Structure 1
Amino acid sequence: MISTRQLKQALTWAIESPNLLVREANRLYYTRGYRRTFNHDGIDVVAEDWDTLIVLDACRYDLFAERSTLPGTLRERESRAAHTSEFIRGNFHERDLTDTVYVTASPILQRGYPERYNPKFHAVVNVWQEDGWDEESNSVHPETMVEYALDAAEQYPQKRLVVHFMQPHYPFIASETKLDKQTVPDPTEITTDVWNEMMHKSADIDPETIVDAYRANFDLVVPYVQQLLDELSGKTVVTSDHGNMLGERSWPLPIREWGHPPGVYTPELVRVPWLEYESGPRRTIVAEPPESDTADVEDDVVRDRLRQLGYAE
């Protein structure tokens, strides 16, 4: 059932941005009238066999298949998500993950904890806090993620690791593009993001430039993933939380879609890579009580990081 708030939002979109209204109609279709909070047809990544799960944020399957040089066996899988929040809810929410350590460049888990999603990890390493965050690029660099991931592997030798890189999600730190860096000129106020700028057709930039920047961000992260494959023992899977629309037609209403709006499960958004690679002995995994409460992070830091990554409140 549509709430009063959702109806008011739809009326606002109808006046200010018809494309966003059409997007909402597509979302209604995919979520069965807002009754689904994630894509129920996707795989349960926790139930799969791995010691380390490397998550590349917003990485399409076709991008990975065309440009990856990583060793291993690649398959296409269907994600439970079109957005990181859905990936977390669909795979981690209210689950006992005390055998797992989550090393993440994304603040999304923290934003929704514990009301929207409440996983029980053994430990969460928020790389985006303080030292892990790069103020110039408004992101976490992949080399920083490698450092934290290897430290976690050493500190928690009997735990599964989830290593969540920010790339190829924007900001496009491998490119000289300005739109993705200037989307949030004032971190205290955000009204849009780079993908909505493309949806509105208000961005003074060639769409192919944005597509090239997205590809370059993927190329940037690949060598660092390779480093983890080389140094981590056991079975490693490289995947993505969701894909990304790059101007393709959505469905069932065929607007040109950009980005990764939650609740819109087009093939470009839910088809993700699943690369399996084994090196050295498997880890002996042991579940132990959580080390600390995930909530021990200041709310203003979470909000600031999310704004800089282009996530609205």
Structure 2
Amino acid sequence: MYTPSQLWRGVRRGVQRPSFFGQELNRLYNRRLYRREYNTDGIDVMAEDWDNLIILDACRYDLFSAQQQECSGTLERRESRGSHTVEFLVGNFAGRTLMDTVYVTASPQLYRWNDRIDATFHEVINVWKHGWDDTHKTVLPRTMTDYGRRVAAQYPNKRLIMHFIQPHYPFIENPEINVGNRLEGSDKTDIWGRLRDGDADVSASEIWDAYRNNLDRVLPAVRELVGTLSGRSVVTSDHGNMFGERSGPIPVAEWGHPPGTYTKELVTVPWQVVSSSERRDIRPEQPHSKSNQFPPSTDRQHDDDTDIMTAQLYPLGYLE
């Protein structure tokens, strides 16, 4: 259900950009008049066989398959439950008690939507609180790899989810493309909005190259991390990313990863399986906070953390 402010923003967008109505009608169709919160045709990642799940945010299957030589294992494909991170989180974790799993994340989205998702993990390590890189306005892959090693050592009997930001915007190797503060006073917080509205000062091919560079930046860190982890590892994505392809049933060009848009570019994701003869003895247990080597990162929200989260969502393109 929309709030009055959301409805007004939708009307304002529709007046400024008529294609908005086509996009919204597509979402109504895909979400069955908003009777479903996510793509119910997607897999339940928690029901799949893995000890370590490495999530690359917004990674298209076709790009990963072309670049995946950085990772060993067997590449398969899966259908995701979301075309947006929040849909992925709701579809896989909402209302569940997952005391056998530690979730390590560079994305603030679980924290932001904590009340809606209402998931209970053995531990949540919010790397975005303490590992944010102010220069690049993101959490760098190396930081996530370092956290992953430490978490695996501390929790040897838990399933481990590592949620990297890359190849998601902003672009590490191409900062000149990132919108950031250049749009002060504008409601367009990322390059996808500018491309969608036809007022970007870079070409789609330049954006694709920058996106591919982000994947090239994260894959060596992922390969290094997987090489240090025991058990069966899977490298996947929460959703893909669109580069002007048409959604449906109304053929509207889409950019980025809008929710409720279940195109193959958005919900077909890589599933790279790195098998191991050594499997971990996974046990669900209550957390022992006194032994936690990491800064506090429980589900409780604090004003300072909320301010940090808000400041970081802007350069990731999530707030308007």
- How many residue pairs were aligned? 309
Deviates more, 1:288-297 or 1:82-91: 288-297
Q: Is the contact between residue 190 and residue 307 of structure 1 (CA under 8 Å) also seen in structure 2?
A: no
Other-structure match for 1:15:
15
Aligned equivalents of 1:296 and 1:264: distance in 2?
30
Match of residue 209, structure 1, among 206, 220, 244: 206
Other-structure match for 2:315:
308
Q: Cα offset for 1:280?
A: 4.8
Aligned-partner SS, 2:248: coil
Aligned equivalents of 2:225 and 2:25: distance in 1?
41
Other-structure match for 1:293:
298
2:299 maps to a residue whose letter is T
Q: Cα offset for 1:152?
A: 0.1
Q: Cα offset for 1:188?
A: 10
Q: Is the contact between residue 169 and residue 217 of structure 1 (CA under 8 Å) also seen in structure 2?
A: yes
Q: Cα offset for 1:192?
A: 3.2
1:155 maps onto 2:147 in alignment: no
Other-structure match for 1:264:
261
Other-structure match for 1:68:
68
Other-structure match for 1:117:
117
Aligned-partner SS, 2:78: strand
Could you say if the C-alpha distance between residues 192 and 231 of structure 1 is closer, same or farther in structure 2, counting changes exceeding 3 Å? same
Other-structure match for 2:189:
192
Q: Is the contact between residue 60 and residue 265 of structure 2 (CA under 8 Å) also seen in structure 1?
A: yes
Q: Cα offset for 1:184?
A: 3.8
Q: Is the contact between residue 187 and residue 307 of structure 1 (CA under 8 Å) also seen in structure 2?
A: no
Q: Cα offset for 1:52?
A: 0.2
Aligned equivalents of 1:280 and 1:142: distance in 2?
27
Other-structure match for 2:136:
137
Aligned equivalents of 1:20 and 1:137: distance in 2?
31
Q: Cα offset for 1:5?
A: 5.7
Aligned equivalents of 1:3 and 1:53: distance in 2?
35
Deviates more, 1:15-24 or 1:210-219: 15-24
Q: Cα offset for 1:7?
A: 4.9
Other-structure match for 2:94:
93
Aligned equivalents of 1:187 and 1:55: distance in 2?
32
Deviations 1:118-149 (A, max 9, x none): 1100001111113x100010000000000001
2:315 maps to a residue whose letter is Q
Other-structure match for 2:107:
106
Aligned equivalents of 2:15 and 2:137: distance in 1?
32
Question: Percent same amino acid at aligned positions?
Answer: 50
Aligned equivalents of 2:106 and 2:229: distance in 1?
19
Aligned-residue CA RMSD in angstroms?
Answer: 2.0
Q: Is the contact between residue 188 and residue 304 of structure 1 (CA under 8 Å) also seen in structure 2?
A: no
1:97 maps to a residue whose letter is L
Q: Is the contact between residue 80 and residue 270 of structure 1 (CA under 8 Å) also seen in structure 2?
A: yes
1:29 maps onto 2:29 in alignment: yes
Q: Cα offset for 1:8?
A: 3.7
1:306 maps to a residue whose letter is L
Could you say if the C-alpha distance between residues 309 and 4 of structure 1 is closer, same or farther in structure 2, counting changes exceeding 3 Å? closer
Deviates more, 1:18-27 or 1:98-107: 18-27
Unaligned runs of 5+ in 1: none
Could you say if the C-alpha distance between residues 162 and 287 of structure 1 is closer, same or farther in structure 2, counting changes exceeding 3 Å? same
Deviations 1:143-190 (A, max 9, x none): 000000110000101100000000000111022x4232x334589985
Deviates more, 1:185-194 or 1:243-252: 185-194
Q: Is the contact between residue 19 and residue 252 of structure 2 (CA under 8 Å) also seen in structure 1?
A: yes
Could you say if the C-alpha distance between residues 190 and 18 of structure 1 is closer, same or farther in structure 2, counting changes exceeding 3 Å? closer
Aligned equivalents of 2:245 and 2:15: distance in 1?
24
Aligned equivalents of 2:152 and 2:269: distance in 1?
25
Aligned equivalents of 2:184 and 2:160: distance in 1?
31
TM-score after normalising by structure 2:
0.91
Match of residue 280, structure 2, among 277, 283, 288: 283
Q: Cα offset for 1:309?
A: 1.2
Q: Cα offset for 1:94?
A: 0.9
1:84 maps to a residue whose letter is T
Aligned-partner SS, 2:37: coil
1:255 maps onto 2:252 in alignment: yes
Q: Cα offset for 1:50?
A: 0.5
Unaligned runs of 5+ in 2: 290-296
Aligned equivalents of 2:183 and 2:194: distance in 1?
16
2:72 maps to a residue whose letter is P
